[in-house]
Chains A and B, each alone.
Chain A
Amino acid sequence: MHAFIQGLILGLLTAGVYALMASGQTLIFGIMNVINLAQGAMVILSAYISYQLFKSFGIDPFLAIPIVTVGMFVIGVAVQLLFLRPLKREDRAELSLLVTFAIALLIEGIMSITWKTNYRSINTSYANSSWTVFGYQITLVRLWACVLSLVALGLLYVLLNKTRFGRAVRATVQNPESARLLGVESDRVAALGFGLGSATAAAAGSVYGLLYAFYPGSHYDLISLLLSIVVLGGLGSIGGAMVGAVVVSTSSAIVASTISPAWSAMTFFVILIVVLVVRPRGLFGSTARGAI
């Protein structure tokens, strides 16, 4: 029972970071119908950048978030303009999968050369401090990571619901054709949307670097995690991504703490399969644009 609750706490605290990554992924899908397999690679790249900022300039990873976010936003827009926009064909969804996979490999290659392939971690002074509440351990970093991710998600919510750009994005997600007819510039929305998705990866990546040790191949672990979250939540639904993140994160943490960490990666796949059998469009996916 103790292991179960400890797993639950850990899972809930980590869920925020995963929700942040996954919201970017599902946003990109919602706007462009593109499943971005490079999202995980962008997270790890951001972790490396904030690692480097901490090591070279002593900038605290939490404070580095704005810098990394802006940088990745620019990179995301560039990727969309260079590699995804030219794919204007009927089978764009299929081709974009392969293109983003290639981008993931490209980023992995660049990271392997710049930072070598051994594990790195960001060792801040507070990395190991934790509280013990009723016998359960709560690490400070994880708590902060969760809070910060929630703040970032809040900002994303405000951006999408209170601004003109946000309205254009939501219109595109709902119905791309009508949005275009009503004067939404879909090309610009797509480019900025991809940048925004990358920016969430950046914010999550800086936090991820604090929580886990990482190496260039770490993004492979994130791909299956993120994909099972967005499919569970319903492709294109940000609220769904958050719920999905909580479910996936807690269940894998509980499996890791009660059964064995060896099987926790298997939980993603099981969840994915169950969702596809029981409810293929996910928890909050619309029938029109969900998985079916």
Chain B
Amino acid sequence: MSKALRLSALRGAAFFGLLAALPSFNLAHWVLNMLVFTLMYAAMSSAWNLVGGFTGYPSLGHAAFFGVGAYAVALWFQHHAIHSGYEPFVILPLVGVLAGLIGLPVAAVAMRTRADVFAIVTITLLFVAQTLAFNLHSITHGAQGLSIDPAPFSPATFERPFYYVLVGLLALAMGITYLTIKSKVGLSLASIRADEDKARGIGVRVSGLKLLTFCVSVGLTSMVGGVWAYYEGFVYPQFAFDPLITISIVLMTFLGGRGTLWGPILGAFVLELSQQNLAYRLGGSQFYLIAYALVFLLIMLLLPRGILPTIQDRLRYRRRRAGAAEGDDRPSAPAPRTAAAKVAVGGGERA
């Protein structure tokens, strides 16, 4: 085991060990509730990062797939009974596959074009999906929404099953990200992000990889949506297909650092915990919409590359200066803005 590999394994074990242990500290319900939502966003940001961070296609439509997952679970349990309480979790993989299949033609059309047209198609998809959820009254019950039977878990530990399933989803998303970074796939995605035509020219399977990444990403997102629907017990079009969900996961990924393993998770924990606090203090008023937009604008202007890459650059710079002082100027990795560095960095773990 190389040193870097051991370090990242240690980091992962520590993080997930802590997450697994947290519920046994007898945390209050509101704390666990907050953690459940934070985990949802962490898992979705990590999934979005695959498309938006590594491949460089900024999807604004992930909330559509969140909604698809939510409605899929809600619709399934209109006709099936919940006995043990774990049935909705069991069908999650099916939900993920379904969303991936829906995502396939969307990606096939949208990813033929450049990144900004891709964003246009995905955001349109989101609004169309919301409109359909409102209008297809016979299936979705429109604005009335759908309800799911409450989970028969004991009230004292009600949040725990959801919590652990979400930890599992987060681990899945991060595991896929880790494998992507460590494998040829990550290198190929980085080359697509840097220059798609050149990547195709040197034999990267651009189209297939883009489709695969998008489908995996939206599949994961829809599974989170399914858990959310079951946790809330109600699905309404305006909450299942909420543009704020899209903007949140994009913002979290940007804040932490896109194209990194830990960035989206860091962003989700910072933003979702503070947002829950903010909503708690400012109430349900529209002020938090303004606060959210302002935070977003500030991050874009002041820290457009995210927390982790900025810190890493700083460290690298310091190390290089120290190295230069000792006359030991090893060729260190170039700053990850250049096209070459994007490819080079994609091969190694960035955070």
Say yes or no: B58 contacts A83, CB within 8 Å.
Answer: no
Interface centre among A86, A90, A97 (most CB of B within 10 A): A97
Given A263-B135, A266-B132, A280-B117, A101–B247 Cβ distance below 8 Å?
yes
Say yes or no: A276 contacts B117, CB within 8 Å.
Answer: yes
Given A93-B116, A102-B296, A291-B113, A108–B289 Cβ distance below 8 Å?
yes
B103-139 to A contact mask, C-beta < 8 Å, 1/0: 0000001101111110111011101101110011000
Could you say which residues of chain A place their CB within 8 Å of the CB of B58? 94, 97-98
Given A102-B300, A112-B286, A97–B116 Cβ distance below 8 Å?
yes
B85 at the interface (CB under 8 A from A): no
Residues of A within 8 A of B (CB): 33, 35, 37, 83, 86-87, 89-91, 93-95, 97-99, 101-103, 105-106, 108-110, 112-113, 117, 216, 220-221, 223-224, 227-228, 231, 235, 262-263, 265-266, 268-269, 272-273, 276-277, 280, 291-292
Question: In whole angstroms, what is the CA distance A135 to B207 when docked?
Answer: 53
Could you say which residues of chain B place their CB within 8 Å of the CB of A87? 300-301, 304
Say yes or no: A266 contacts B131, CB within 8 Å.
Answer: yes
Say yes or no: B127 contacts A221, CB within 8 Å.
Answer: yes
List CB contacts (< 8 Å) of B291-306 with chain A. Answer: 292-294, 296-297, 300-301, 304
B280 at the interface (CB under 8 A from A): no
Say yes or no: B289 contacts A98, CB within 8 Å.
Answer: no
Say yes or no: A94 contacts B301, CB within 8 Å.
Answer: no
Question: In whole angstroms, what is the CA distance A93 to B114 when docked?
Answer: 10
Could you say which residues of chain A place their CB within 8 Å of the CB of B120? 35, 227, 231, 272
Given A93-B116, A105-B247, A227-B120, A113–B287 Cβ distance below 8 Å?
yes
Say yes or no: B116 contacts A102, CB within 8 Å.
Answer: no
Q: Which of B128, B286, B300 contacts A224 (CB 8 A)?
A: B128
Question: In whole angstroms, what is the CA distance A258 to B34 when docked?
Answer: 48
Say yes or no: A105 contacts B128, CB within 8 Å.
Answer: no
Given A98-B296, A224-B124, A262-B135, A86–B115 Cβ distance below 8 Å?
no
Question: In whole angstroms, what is the CA distance A262 to B237 when docked?
Answer: 14
